[in-house]
C-alpha cells in the first residue's frame, strides 16, 4: 500500500496547510513542463497529485488513514460503520395492575342494578299515573269533577308528561269551573307533551285562547284542527264567529259559517250567526229566514228577537214591530235591547231595570 505521506514527504500528523505546501513544492519540481521527455518525473508527478487529492479531502483522508493504520487492502471497498447517536432509553410506564375479576363483576353488577332500578322505578311511576288517570275518567263520567281533579293531580305528580291527563284537567277547569287562564296552561301542556298531533287538544286550546281574547292564536289552532281532521265540524262555526265578531272579516266569516250551516242545518248557533252575517252583508231575506229557523230551534231566544227587530227596522222600516221584538229581547234578559228601545220606542219606562245581558254573550 502506497504511503501518501512519504510521497509528499510529510508526517502522518501533518496539517492541511502543510500537506498543501508540500504538494506545491514537489509539483513544481516534477512538473512535466520542467522535465520534458522524463518518464520517471511524469510518473512521480502523477503519484504526488494522487497523494494530494487523497489527503486534501477529509473523507478520503479518513478512509485512507484507516487503511494505512490497519493494513486494509486498497482494492477492498471499505465502508466505515455508521454510528447512531446515543439517546437514553425511553421510560416505559408501568402497566396498571389488573383488577381482580371479582371487583369487575361487582362494579358491573352495581351499574346494571342502578340502571335497571331507575327504569323500573320510572315504569312503576308511569303505571301509577295511568291508574290514577283511569280513576279520574270514571269520576268525570259520573260528573264528580272534584274527585276527578284530585286523581288527575295524583296522576300528574307521577308523570307530568301524561298528555291526556293534562288535557282532561284543562277541560274540567274550562267547562265546569270557567277557569280559562288555568285551563289554557293544561291544554298547552297537553299539546307539548303529546307524541302525536291530536286535533282535540288543539281544538280545546283554541277555545281557551278564544275566551282569553287571543284571537290570532285561536284561529291558528282552529285551522290546525281542520288540517288534522276536517270532520271536526264545530271548528267551522268557531272560526266563523271569530271572523264575524272579532276581525269583522265578513268574507272569511261567510266561508266558515256557511260550511257550518251545511253540516249543522238544525243548529241554533249556526243559523243565528249566519243570519247576523247576512244582515251585515245586506242579505236581509236570507238572514230573516235563518232567524226564523233559530227561533224554531230555540223559542224565546233574546238574541234572535234582537236581530229580528233589527231586520224590521233596517229592511222593513217597521219600527213598531221592531220595538215589539226588542221588548221581548229585553224581557228575556238582553240588556243591549234597552238602548234600542230608548232610541226608537216610547215605552222605555215600563222596562225592568235589572236586565244586563249583552247580545254578544
C-alpha–C-alpha distance, residues 256 and 150, integer Å: 39
pLDDT at 118 over 50: yes
Higher pLDDT, 98 or 231: 231
DSSP bridge partners of 357: 334
Give the count of domains, the chain: 2
Could you tell me if residue 30 is inside a domain? yes
CATH number at residue 48: 1.10.287.110
Q: In terms of pLDDT, which residue wins out, 163 or 346? A: 163
Q: Express each pLDDT in 141-153 by its tens digit.
A: 999 999 999 999 9
**pLDDT tens-digit readout, 68-82:** 776 655 454 445 445
At 89 the pLDDT is 58
To the nearest whole number, what is the mean pLDDT of the chain?
Answer: 86
pLDDT digits (tens, 9 = 90+) for 294-329: 999 999 899 999 999 999 999 999 999 999 999 999
Residue 326 in any domain: the answer is no
Q: What is the per-residue pLDDT across 196-245, written as a single tens digit (0 to 9) for each?
A: 999 999 999 999 999 999 999 999 999 999 999 999 999 999 999 999 99
Contact 235, 225 (CB under 8 A): yes
Cα 341 → chain centroid: 58
Domain of residue 226: give its range.
125-232
132 lies in the same domain as 225: yes
Considering the domain architecture, whether residues 64 and 151 belong to the same structural domain is answered as no
| Same-domain check for residues 130 and 62 | no
HEC sequence for the chain: CCCHHHHCCCCCCCCHHHHHHHHHHHHHHHCCCCCCCCHHHHHHHHHHHHHHHHHCCHHHHHHHHHHHHHCCCCCCCCCCCCCCCCCCCCCCCCCCCCCCHHHHHHHHHHHHHHHHHHHHHHHHHHHHHHHHHHHHHHHHHCCCHHHHHHHHHHHHHHCCCCHHHHHHHHHHHHHHHCCHHHHHHHHHHHHHHCCCCCHHHHHHHHHHHHHCCCHHHHHHHHHHHHHHCCCCCHHHHHHHHHHHHHCCCHHHHHHHHHHHHHHCCCCHHHHHHHHHHHHHCCCHHHHHHHHHHHHHHCCCCHHHHHHHHHHHHHCCCCHHHHHHHHHHHHHCCECCHHHHHHHHCCCHHHCCCCCCECCCC
Lowest-pLDDT range of 11-25, 109-123, 171-185, 252-266: 109-123
Tell me, yes or no, whether 62 and 132 share the same domain: no
Instruction: Indicate whether 51 and 131 sit together in one domain.
Output: no
Last-in-domain residue among 215, 232, 249: 232
291 within some domain: no
The pLDDT, as a whole number, for residue 85 is 53
Q: Considering the domain boundaries, does residue 330 fall inside one?
A: no
Tell me how far apart the alpha carbons of residues 186 and 179 are, in angstroms, rounded to a whole number.
11
Q: Among residues of the chain, what percentage have pLDDT more than 70?
A: 87
For residue 160, pLDDT over 90 is answered with yes
Nearest to 222 by CA among 209, 161, 315, 65: 209
Asked whether residue 254 is domain-assigned, the answer is: no
Among 232, 267, 288, which residue terminates a domain? 232
pLDDT greater than 90 at residue 121: no
Residue 15 has φ and ψ, to the nearest 5°, of -80, 170
pTM here is: 0.62
Domain containing residue 221: CATH number: 1.25.40.10
Q: Is 325 among the domain residues?
A: no
Residue 75 lies in a domain: no
- The residue out of 232, 264, 290 marking a domain boundary is 232
pLDDT number for residue 291: 95
Whether residues 147 and 228 share a domain: the answer is yes
Within a domain: 86 = no
The verdict on 150 and 52 lying in the same domain is no
Same domain, 59 and 130: no
Amino acid at each position: 500500500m502506497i504511503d501518501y505521506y512519504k510521497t509528499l514527504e510529510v508526517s502522518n500528523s501533518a496539517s492541511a496547510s502543510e500537506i498543501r505546501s508540500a504538494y506545491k513544492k514537489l509539483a513544481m519540481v516534477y512538473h512535466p513542463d520542467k522535465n520534458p521527455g522524463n518518464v520517471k518525473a511524469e510518473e512521480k508527478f502523477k503519484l504526488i497529485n494522487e497523494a494530494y487529492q487523497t489527503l486534501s479531502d477529509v473523507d478520503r483522508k479518513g478512509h485512507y488513514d484507516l487503511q494505512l493504520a490497519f493494513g486494509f487492502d486498497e482494492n477492498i471497498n471499505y465502508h466505515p460503520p455508521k454510528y447512531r447517536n446515543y439517546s437514553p432509553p425511553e421510560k416505559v410506564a408501568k402497566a396498571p395492575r389488573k383488577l381482580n375479576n371479582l371487583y369487575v363483576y361487582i362494579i358491573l353488577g352495581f351499574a346494571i342494578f342502578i340502571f335497571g332500578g331507575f327504569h323500573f322505578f320510572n315504569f312503576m311511576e308511569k303505571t301509577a299515573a295511568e291508574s290514577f288517570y283511569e280513576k279520574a275518567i270514571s269520576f268525570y263520567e259520573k260528573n264528580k269533577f272534584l274527585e276527578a281533579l284530585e286523581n288527575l293531580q295524583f296522576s300528574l305528580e307521577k308523570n307530568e308528561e301524561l298528555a291526556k291527563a293534562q288535557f282532561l284537567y284543562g277541560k274540567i277547569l274550562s267547562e265546569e269551573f270557567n277557569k280559562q287562564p288555568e285551563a289554557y296552561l293544561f291544554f298547552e301542556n297537553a299539546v307539548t307533551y303529546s307524541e302525536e298531533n291530536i286535533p282535540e287538544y288543539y281544538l280545546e286550546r283554541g277555545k281557551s285562547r278564544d275566551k282569553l281574547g287571543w284571537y290570532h292564536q285561536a284561529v291558528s289552532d282552529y285551522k290546525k284542527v281542520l288540517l288534522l281532521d276536517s270532520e271536526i265540524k264545530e271548528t267551522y262555526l268557531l272560526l266563523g264567529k271569530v271572523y264575524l265578531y272579532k276581525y269583522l272579516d265578513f268574507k272569511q266569516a261567510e266561508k266558515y259559517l256557511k260550511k257550518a250551516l251545511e253540516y249543522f242545518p238544525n243548529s241554533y248557533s249556526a243559523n243565528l250567526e249566519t243570519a247576523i252575517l247576512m244582515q251585515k252583508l245586506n242579505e236581509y231575506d236570507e238572514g230573516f229566514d235563518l232567524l226564523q229557523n233559530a227561533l224554531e230551534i230555540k223559542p224565546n231566544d233574546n238574541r234572535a228577537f234582537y236581530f229580528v227587530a233589527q231586520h224590521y227596522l233596517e229592511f222593513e222600516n217597521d219600527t213598531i214591530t221592531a220595538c215589539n221584538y226588542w221588548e221581548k229581547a229585553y224581557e228575556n234578559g238582553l240588556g243591549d235591547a234597552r238602548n234600542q228601545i230608548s232610541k226608537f220606542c216610547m215605552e222605555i219606562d215600563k222596562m225592568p231595570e235589572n236586565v244586563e245581558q249583552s247580545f254578544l254573550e
